[in-house]
C-alpha cells in the first residue's frame, strides 16, 4: 500500500466530505455527496494599498475640496456636511476648525473608500465655555443671517464643539439639487430583464436605462425648469447622479424639492397609465416625440435588439394586458420567435402597424407604444434622496466598495456611446498607472463645472 497515495486520497476525501474511499488502486464511483461544486469567481476586492496610492497620487482632492466649499459662505469644509467612509465600514462626518489643506492631508493620511457631501451650513451663534452667546462667525459683510435665510429653508441645527470648549450652532443654508438613480430600484418595478436582474452589477442593456435617465432628467431640468448647470456623474456601481448647481436650485426648500420630484415621478404602472392617457399631456408628448421614441428605436431595438429577449417580451405583454386590448393575440407567435430571424425593429413595426390600422386606441386610453417606451426608459426616482437636505451624496472620484469602479463625471452627449468596459476599476486604474481617458476627462468636467458656477 502506498502511504503517499493514501494521504492524498484522504485529504481529497476530507475536502469533498466523503466518509470513506476505496484504496488498492480502485476508487468507488462518486456519489452525489462527492460532487465538488465549482465556486463562482470571487467578487472584486478593494486593496488598502491601492486606495492609499489612489488618493495620494491620482484623485483630484483639490477639486473635490473646492466642490465641498464652493457654495459655502465661509469657504471652509467646516461649514459643510462631509462624510468619509472607510474600508472597515467606519464613517466619520464631523470636522471642526479644518481648512481645505488640512482635509486633503487628513484624507491622504487615512484614505477613505468614499467621500460624501451634504448640506452647506452657516454658523450663527457660538455658545462660549462660560455659557454666554456671541454672534461672531458670520461676517457682517454677508447680508442675511442663517435665521433670516430659514424663511426659505427650514434650519437644520447641528451643534459641534470647536475644540476650545465652545459650542458652535450650525444652521442649514443651501445645497445642490441632486438626483441619485440606482438601477437596483428598477427590479422592484419589473423593468430590468437582463442577466443583472436582482444583482448589484451593470451591463450594456442596463446602460440603456441610464441613457433613458439622462434624456428624461435633462428634459425636465433644462427644458421645463430652465436649469443649466447639470453635471452627470457615474456612481461607480449601478447608477448615475445628476448634480444641479444653479442659484435657484441651491436655495430650494425641502418642500420645493419634493414638488420637483413629484413633477417627474411615475414609478409604478398605475401612475404612469393615468398620466399617459390620450390626448397625451403636452409635456409628455414632447418628451416622447423629441427624445424617448428615438432613443428606444436606435439604442434599444437596433443596437441592443431587446425584443429578442424573452424577459422583456413577457413584461411588454403584461403591459398590453393592462391596457385591455387584444393586441397580445396578434403578436404572440412572431414576438416569441427569439432566435434572431425576426429583428426587434420588425417586431416593433408590426405593433405600430396593428395599432394604426385596426384603430385599437380610443380617447382616454393609452397608446401601447407610448406606455412601453416610457415604462422601459423612464427613471425610478427616490424622493427622499433628492428632497432631504440632510441626505449626503457620494462625491465624484469616490470608489464603489462593491464593484471597485471609480465614480467619474461624464459628458452628457458621450453617454450613449460609452462602453461599460471603459469605466475604470481601482485595480485596473492602478495597474495602468492612472492612464484612463474617461478619468482625465472627468477631472476636466469637474474643474469646468466648479469654475463656471
pLDDT top residue among 176 and 148: 176
Residue 80 confidence (pLDDT): 82
pTM (two decimals)? 0.80
- State the average pLDDT over residues 135-151: 37
304-318 CB burial, b ≥16 within 10 A, e <16:
bbbbbbeebbebbbe
Report the C-alpha gap between 403 and 199 in whole angstroms: 11
- State the average pLDDT over residues 62-73: 85
CA 100 to chain centre: 27
Helix (H) or strand (E) holding 174: strand 167-174
Mind listing the pLDDT tens digit for each residue in 178-226? 999 999 999 899 999 888 877 767 899 999 999 999 999 999 999 999 9
State whether residue 273 is helix, strand or coil. Answer: helix
CB atoms within 10 A of CB 448: 12
- State the average pLDDT over residues 71-99: 78
Question: Which region among 13-27, 76-90, 302-316, 390-404 has the lowest average model confidence (pLDDT)?
Answer: 13-27
- DSSP type of residue 146: H
C-beta of residue 99 within 8 angstroms of C-beta of residue 163: no
Residue 339 confidence (pLDDT): 75
- Whether the per-residue pLDDT at 405 is higher than 90: the answer is yes
- Whether the per-residue pLDDT at 159 is higher than 60: the answer is no
Question: Which region among 145-149, 167-171, 184-188, 313-317 has the lowest average model confidence (pLDDT)?
Answer: 145-149
Mean pLDDT of the chain: 80
pLDDT top residue among 271 and 390: 271
Q: How is the chain split into domains, by residue range?
A: 48-175, 178-377
C-beta of residue 366 within 8 angstroms of C-beta of residue 278: yes
pLDDT above 70 coverage of the chain, percent = 74
State whether residue 178 is helix, strand or coil. Answer: strand
Residue 85 confidence (pLDDT): 92
Mind listing the pLDDT tens digit for each residue in 234-266? 999 999 999 999 989 998 989 999 999 999 999
Residue 345 confidence (pLDDT): 94
Residue 365 confidence (pLDDT): 84
Mind listing the pLDDT tens digit for each residue in 336-395? 887 778 899 999 998 998 888 765 455 568 999 999 999 999 999 988 899 998 899 999
User: Which of 373, 375, 374, 333 is CA-nearest to residue 350?
Assistant: 333
Which residue's entry shows cell 456671541? Answer: 134
Residue 356 confidence (pLDDT): 81
Q: Collect contacts of 306-310 with beta carbons under 8 A, ≥24 apart.
A: 306/205, 306/208, 306/344, 306/376, 307/335, 307/344, 307/347, 307/348, 308/338, 308/339, 308/340, 308/342, 308/343, 308/344, 309/193, 309/194, 309/205, 309/338, 310/336, 310/338
State whether residue 344 is helix, strand or coil. Answer: helix
C-beta of residue 209 within 8 angstroms of C-beta of residue 239: no
pLDDT top residue among 190 and 140: 190
178-377 is classed CATH 3.20.20.150: no
Amino acid at each position: 500500500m502506498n502511504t503517499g497515495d493514501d494521504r492524498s486520497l484522504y485529504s481529497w476525501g476530507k475536502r469533498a466530505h466523503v466518509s470513506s474511499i476505496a484504496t488498492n488502486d480502485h476508487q468507488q464511483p462518486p456519489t452525489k455527496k462527492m460532487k465538488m461544486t465549482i465556486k463562482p469567481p470571487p467578487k472584486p476586492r478593494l486593496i488598502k494599498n491601492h486606495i492609499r496610492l489612489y488618493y495620494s497620487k491620482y484623485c483630484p482632492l483639490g477639486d473635490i475640496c473646492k466642490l465641498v466649499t464652493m457654495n459655502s459662505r465661509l469657504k471652509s469644509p467646516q461649514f459643510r456636511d462631509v462624510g468619509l467612509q472607510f474600508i472597515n465600514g467606519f464613517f466619520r462626518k464631523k470636522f471642526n476648525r479644518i481648512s481645505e489643506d488640512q482635509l486633503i492631508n487628513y484624507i491622504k493620511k487615512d484614505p477613505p473608500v468614499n467621500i460624501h457631501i451634504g448640506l452647506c451650513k452657516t454658523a450663527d451663534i457660538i455658545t462660549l465655555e462660560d455659557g454666554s452667546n456671541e454672534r461672531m462667525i458670520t461676517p457682517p459683510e454677508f447680508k442675511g443671517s442663517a435665521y433670516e435665510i430659514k424663511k426659505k429653508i427650514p434650519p437644520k441645527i447641528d451643534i459641534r464643539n470647536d475644540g476650545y470648549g465652545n459650542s458652535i450652532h450650525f444652521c442649514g443654508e443651501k445645497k445642490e439639487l441632486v438626483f441619485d438613480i440606482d438601477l437596483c430600484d428598477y427590479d422592484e418595478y419589473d423593468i430590468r430583464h437582463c442577466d443583472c436582474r436582482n444583482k448589484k452589477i451593470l451591463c450594456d442593456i442596463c446602460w440603456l436605462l441610464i441613457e433613458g435617465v439622462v434624456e428624461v432628467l435633462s428634459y425636465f431640468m433644462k427644458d421645463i425648469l430652465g436649469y443649466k448647470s447639470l453635471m452627470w456623474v457615474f456612481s461607480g456601481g449601478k447608477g448615475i447622479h445628476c448634480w444641479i448647481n444653479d442659484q435657484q436650485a441651491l436655495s430650494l426648500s425641502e418642500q420645493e424639492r419634493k414638488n420637483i420630484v413629484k413633477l417627474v415621478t411615475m414609478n409604478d404602472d398605475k401612475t404612469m397609465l393615468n398620466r399617459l392617457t390620450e390626448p397625451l399631456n403636452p409635456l409628455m408628448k414632447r418628451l416622447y416625440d423629441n427624445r424617448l421614441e428615438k432613443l428606444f428605436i436606435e439604442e434599444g431595438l437596433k443596437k441592443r435588439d431587446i425584443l429578442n429577449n424573452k424577459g422583456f417580451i413577457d413584461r411588454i405583454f403584461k403591459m398590453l394586458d393592462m391596457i385591455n386590448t387584444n393586441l397580445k393575440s396578434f403578436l404572440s407567435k412572431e414576438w416569441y420567435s427569439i432566435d434572431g430571424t425576426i429583428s426587434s425593429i420588425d417586431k416593433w413595426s408590426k405593433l405600430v402597424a396593428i395599432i394604426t390600422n385596426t384603430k385599437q386606441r380610443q380617447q382616454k386610453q393609452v397608446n401601447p407604444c407610448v406606455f412601453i417606451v416610457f415604462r422601459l426608459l423612464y427613471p425610478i426616482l427616490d424622493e427622499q434622496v433628492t428632497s432631504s437636505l440632510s441626505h449626503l451624496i457620494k462625491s465624484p472620484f469616490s470608489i464603489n466598495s462593491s464593484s471597485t469602479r471609480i465614480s467619474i463625471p461624464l459628458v452628457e452627449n458621450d453617454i450613449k456611446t460609452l462602453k461599460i468596459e471603459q469605466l475604470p476599476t481601482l485595480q485596473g486604474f492602478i495597474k495602468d498607472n492612472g492612464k484612463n481617458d474617461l478619468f482625465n476627462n472627468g477631472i476636466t468636467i469637474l474643474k469646468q463645472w466648479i469654475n463656471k458656477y
